[in-house]
Structure 1
Amino acid sequence: MAQGSSDDVIVVGGGVIGLTTAVVLAESGRRVRVWTRDPVQRTTSAVAGALWWPYHIEPVASARAWALRSLDVYEELAERPAETGVRLVDGVLGETTLDAVAGWASTRLPGLRAATADEYAGTGVWARLPLIDMAAHLPWLRARLLRAGGSVEERTVSGLGRVRAPVVVNCTGLGAHELVPDPSVRPVRGQLVVVENPGIRTWLVSTGPAGEMAYVFPQPDRLLLGGTAEDDVWSTRPDPVVAEAIVRRCSALRPEIAGARVLGHRVGLRPARPTVRLERETLPDGRVLVHHYGHGGAGVTVAWGCAQEAAALATAS
């Protein structure tokens, strides 16, 4: 394949990180193509609970800066929730104190306060945060990319050296484990249960004394119940025993969930890494390769801040 014009960029990976990076590049005037192994509705991002909060991601300082830049975008997108899938929703971060977020988030979240005993039985923080419906948001991102002149192709990449373009951005997430290869990228398995919403309007994240996770995320037509965080587990098959435990933990927090009709089960593999890899290298033939992966469970949270930085690396002279 010919390398193309100097404005050609191929983004490998069609999850939220790849699509957001492609949108930023395309809207800056670059000719961008996304190569994705799976359609957007089958990427790991499609399974995300997608509450804005930096979870399972390092380095912490960079992640918080990326998250705050992304918050600016999500607040604007929340003005058009039916179109973008982004809403600002109230809820409780359990096992969190105001002191824990005072140094970085409190000035951007003016409604932040301690949760009352009626809102949460333990120590928690009440906040209004972006909650993203990925079933709507990912197709919206794809459509925004197309409007900016970009394209999306479903194709499997067997090696980054085979991607012939002046600039290649590697947003392959867990795929980087073999594609780079980068053995430090590993899966953190997350399972959730989708049920009919019995009328819950606020979200809740809680961690039990043994470290077990429970979260309740209301979406427009359903309720997402989670979850798990199993290190180094590659299976994407839902486990019915795990599903029952998830429903049981969430029902203990919100009794009205008990008996809600189950609509489906989802499993996603978070692409964890000791630190996000966001760096540029020049290949022997002069082409630019930007690595942009390893966002753990916070890909949606940091997507726009990270994408802006990745685009700057990709277009730097």
Structure 2
Amino acid sequence: MLDRRSVLLGMSGGLLAACTTTGRPRLSDYEASSAPFYPVDVRPERIKEILVGLRPGRDGGFRLEAEPFGDKIIVHNYGHEGDGVTLSWGCGTLAAEKVLETGEDDIAVIGAGAQGLTTALILARHGKKVTVYAEKFHPNVTSSIAGAIILTASSYGDVDLDTVARVNALAHTGFDAYENRPGTGVTRVRHHYLNRRRQDMARPDEKTLLGCPFGDMTRPTMIDMSLYLPYLMQEARVAGVAFYTETFRTPADLIALGQPVIVNCTGLGAGALFDDEAVHPVWGQLVRLHPQPEIDYSYVAPGNDGQLYMFPRQTSIVLGGTRRRDVWPLEPDPAETARLLLQHGKLAARARQILPLQVAA
């Protein structure tokens, strides 16, 4: 089965070698008819911060189900890997439905990432008494540093396709309400999947950007998590959700809670807490540059030694594309920082070469 993650990883290698071997790039019809594609300024002195996070991967796809747990019911909602933000409103809605089926009114949610906060807010809007327990909160959760472009996949491991279809159909329901609302960080962006072939090898039906062909420009939702996550937490507070710092090391710690229903949004923590051997970390590194308000486009591209993506935000320009399975240390890799700056810089150089023509057009 070919999902979004497989497509992106399958593009690795060759773009920069292919797209930069020709001479000065010509201004494509697409670039001439669109707003200027200003170059990203990737000078090292413009680095705002370098962040490392561990995506909660799970062999077989995310887990979304209810099960008896002592005298309680656990509703599991974890294992989304790099799509935790994308699937937060879809999986949060389905998890909330499973809670509502129990008929209980006092609910505990474990975890304060995008999945935990969204599920808690949905339940509170249904009139439930909700308490969120978490060891860490924003900005110290993985969701805080997610790339967060809302693009769903056609499949997620072994998750049944009816569930995937429902989750995908609900993916934008929450974000749409926040789009362009001040302080939420939820906007739309011109997004492009760049191809490894050269501009002069583009098919007649293909557009080109930065010297590389791409299929279609889309306008997905882009989330600035540094703004959105605290906004979402405040929305939950207003809806009556209570928050407590708590660490759960064993199942007995969960059973000790007073609530009869517990929603498990612990991500990587679910592996040890529930003895789920399918859970594993997927290491990723981001370089955040100081913001450039003029950049209103994004791209995903195959690069040398891995994927590349550039996402513009109100508070930063995000450069990323690293995926390393079963790597736990959270220290940044200087070699990966250098790779991201070099390869995004080569694409930016092509924008810089054709920018004067764009401005004139």
TM-score by length of 1: 0.68
Distance 1:149 1:257, change over 3 A: farther
Q: Residue 236 of structure 1 aligns with which residue?
A: 330
Q: Which whole-Å CA distance do the structure 2 matches of 1:95 and 1:169 have between them?
A: 41
Deviations 1:90-131 (A, max 9, x none): 1202349xxxxxxxxxxxxxxxxx762135603333100100
Structure 1 regions of 5+ residues with no counterpart?
Answer: 97-113, 259-317
Contact 1:218 1:224 in 2 (8 A): yes
1:49 to 147, 151, 171: 147
- Is the Cα–Cα contact under 8 Å of residues 26 and 145 in structure 1 kept in the other structure? yes
1:128-207 map, 5 Å: 128-163=219-254, 164=257, 165-198=259-292, 199-207=294-302
**Paired AA for residue 184 in structure 2:** T
TM-score, normalised to structure 2, is 0.60
Query: 2-side partners of 1:190 and 1:257: how far apart?
Result: 27
Describe how 1:95-134 pairs up with structure 2 within 5 A.
Answer: 95=195, 116-118=207-209, 121-134=212-225
Counterpart in 1 of 2:97? Answer: none
Alignment length (residue pairs): 236
Q: Give, in whole Å, the separation in 1 of the partners of 2:288 and 2:165.
A: 29
User: For residue 185 of structure 2, what is the amino acid of its counterpart?
Assistant: G
1:29 to 97, 102, 127: 127
Pair 1:6–1:68, CA change in 2 (3 A):
closer
Quote the residue 1:276 is aligned against.
none
| 1:215-294 alignment runs, 5 A limit | 215-255=309-349
Partner of 1:107: none
The letter of the residue matching 1:47 is I
SS at match of 2:237: helix
The 8 Å contact of residues 13 and 172 in structure 1, kept in 2 or not, is answered as: yes
Q: Distance in 2 between matches of 1:40 and 1:115?
A: 41
Query: Is 1:20 paired with 2:114?
Result: no
Residues 256 and 154 of structure 1: CA distance in aligned 2, closer, same or farther (over 3 Å): farther
Residue in 2 aligned with 1:308? Answer: none
Q: Unpaired runs of 5+ in structure 2?
A: 1-71, 73-102, 197-204, 353-361
Output the aligned Cα RMSD.
2.6
Question: Residue type of the partner of 2:174?
Answer: V
Structure of greater relative contact order (alpha carbons < 8 Å, 6+ residues apart):
2
Which structure has the larger Rg over C-alpha atoms? 2
User: Residues 245, 119 of structure 1: CA spacing in aligned structure 2 closer, same or farther, 3 A cutoff?
Assistant: closer
CA shift at 1:248, angstroms? Answer: 1.3
Contact kept in structure 2, 1:90 and 1:126, CA below 8 Å: yes
Structure 1 residue 166: Cα displacement: 0.6
Name the CA distance, whole Å, in 2 between partners of 1:26 and 1:229: 35
Secondary structure of the structure 2 residue equivalent to 1:84: coil
